[in-house]
A and B are shown apart, each in its own frame.
Chain A
Amino acid sequence: MTRPLRQVLAEAQSVPLEIGWLPETKATAPALPPEEPPAVVPRGSGVALDLKGVGKSFGDKRVLGGVDLQVRPGDFLVVVGKSGCGKSTLLRLLVGLDRPTEGEIAIGPGRDGGKANARIVFQEPRLLPWASVLDNVAVGLPASLSSEAAWKAAETVLADVHLQGRADDWPSVLSGGQRQRVALARALVSHPDLLVLDEPLGALDALTRITMQSLIERVWHAQGFTAVLVTHDVAEAVALGDRVVVIDEGRIVLDLAIDLPRPRERGSAALAALEGKLLDAIFGVAEVVY
């Protein structure tokens, strides 16, 4: 089952990497124009996603069915839904960890017409406890890269997630948020075309989560990859997404475009109204008891 993905990655990784590609991020995020392409030309091109009638069954249990979804290159898609509705299953299909039992998924093409380089960040950081922070980040690089080039690339991306100076630490001495930033750096270092995040901030406290959200938004804006984020948090969904889809019992029940300028003002009336819409779709208006 995992074979196709390994092939995808192996091919994607044979593309020569450019090192030191990320522009310096400023402490205060600049106001981002909503539709215009970013000022810095992203070196990782986003890929388009095209899902047609995609479904997945485990035995005779249909977990996902009839999912039609088109995502433009460089878009930020957020997926929300109740626990067990099939969000992780959808992500696993997207990165090729599993194959759909119905329908078709087209991703790409990636840079130079090659296969797309897809990376995933999980809810848990999944760092190697016996490798330093720097070596953990280097896991995201192709094995063919010389160790000096790998260290340089890893150091650059560590600075992007504000972990410069922690390169030689063991993961066990980092805080939860720092560990998740290392995991993010590991996914970013190979310069992905598609970044898939499965509740990456679910285990973090509310304040750390807000910091991490703007970090993710900033690297996404700087690099221009296509992002797919799964979250339980509707505030996070409306803060980050160009588009939010709600999944219920394996189907898309709402597809909501969000045309607000970035960075978005948390707690604004516009966002609150959108959050309400999402919650209604998730729980079904009829179910809500007043």
Chain B
Amino acid sequence: MARLRLSSLTPYALPAAVIAVWQAGSALGVISDRVLPAPTDVVAAGWRLALSGELLANAKSSTARALAGLVIGGGIGFGLGLLNGLSRAADRVTDTTVQMIRNVPHLALIPLVILWFGIGEEAKLFLVALGVFFPVYVNTVHGVRGVDGQLVEMGRIYGMSSWTLFRKVILPGALPSIFVGLRYALGIMWLTLIVAETISASSGLGYMAMQAREFMLVDVVVLSILIYALLGKLADVLARALERRSLAWHPAFQNH
């Protein structure tokens, strides 16, 4: 039992050590307060903002944007990915265009997006949706194409309707690849959101960090960065749990 619990803590040993060194460095005066406030100061700032309600409000508004952008961009990417994976004709019509747009870094569109949407919510949703679209799209197409043709033939011989074939053979076969796309998209989702909020927003974690910078509150800036790391990790943990659940049949997810 003790061994098991110890080994489950292993991944957190390194972050804990970093924080310990950081705290020690601050206490000894090796690390200047102006550069990096002590972890205890960051925690105190977090406590202060949590009590005032600011922290929760900003985290909520960032999370809502992130999820909305993910649903919109991921949904479109998934739909178009299925379509192009299944239909050669649709692929010929749209894929080249999609690949061309994909080669433009989506953050390069920020000036244009601000011109279009101002600094409203639409601008941030648009950027997040665009960012998550590509990984979901590319991996969905790849997954659908990679489904074992022998299984598809088997399904046909056994009289499956097109819908049943899709539900029972093609979608489950493509799922591992789709999850790769989803996890990649989650990373892009946070990245895009942070950049977008830093540039133009009146709420959210990126906004909180920029405000803090203006008032020279280094502890709040560091706090924002740490919260991003935590939210990113949380999203990944959730995606992994979902993956584990839906891919229980996969040998890679058995006996763990």
**A residues apposed to B, CB below 8 Å:** 2, 5-6, 9-10, 13, 95, 97, 120, 122, 124, 126, 128-131, 139-140, 142-143, 170, 172-173, 186
Q: Are A6 and B156 in contact (CB under 8 A)?
A: yes
Assembled-state Cα–Cα distance A143/B158 (Å): 10
> Which of B151, B247, B248, B254 is within 8 Å of A126, CB to CB?
B151
Question: B160 contacts which chain A residues (CB < 8 A)?
Answer: 139, 143
List the count of A-B residue pairs having beta carbons below 8 Å apart: 57
Which residue on chain A has the smallest CB distance to residue B148?
A126
Known: A6-B159, A9-B158, A120-B157. A130 touches B172 (CB 8 A): yes
Question: B250 contacts which chain A residues (CB < 8 A)?
Answer: 129-130, 172
Q: Is the interface of B mostly helix, strand, loop or mixed?
A: helix
> Which of B150, B161, B249 is within 8 Å of A129, CB to CB?
B249
Q: Are B159 and A128 in contact (CB under 8 A)?
A: no
Q: Are A9 and B150 in contact (CB under 8 A)?
A: no
Known: A126-B150, A126-B151, A172-B249. A131 touches B159 (CB 8 A): no
Q: Are A122 and B150 in contact (CB under 8 A)?
A: yes
Q: Are A128 and B169 in contact (CB under 8 A)?
A: yes
State how many angstroms separate the Cβ of B59 from the closest Cβ of chain A. Answer: 36
Nearest first, the 9 closest Cβ-Cβ pairs linking A and B are A9-B159, A130-B172, A130-B249, A126-B154, A170-B249, A172-B251, A2-B156, A126-B150, A139-B158
Which residue on chain A has the smallest CB distance to residue B175?
A130
Question: A143 contacts which chain B residues (CB < 8 A)?
Answer: 159-161, 164
Assembled-state Cα–Cα distance A44/B45 (Å): 78
> Which of A9, A13, A130 is within 8 Å of B157, CB to CB?
A9
Question: A128 contacts which chain B residues (CB < 8 A)?
Answer: 151, 168-169, 172
Which residue on chain B has the smallest CB distance to residue A173?
B254
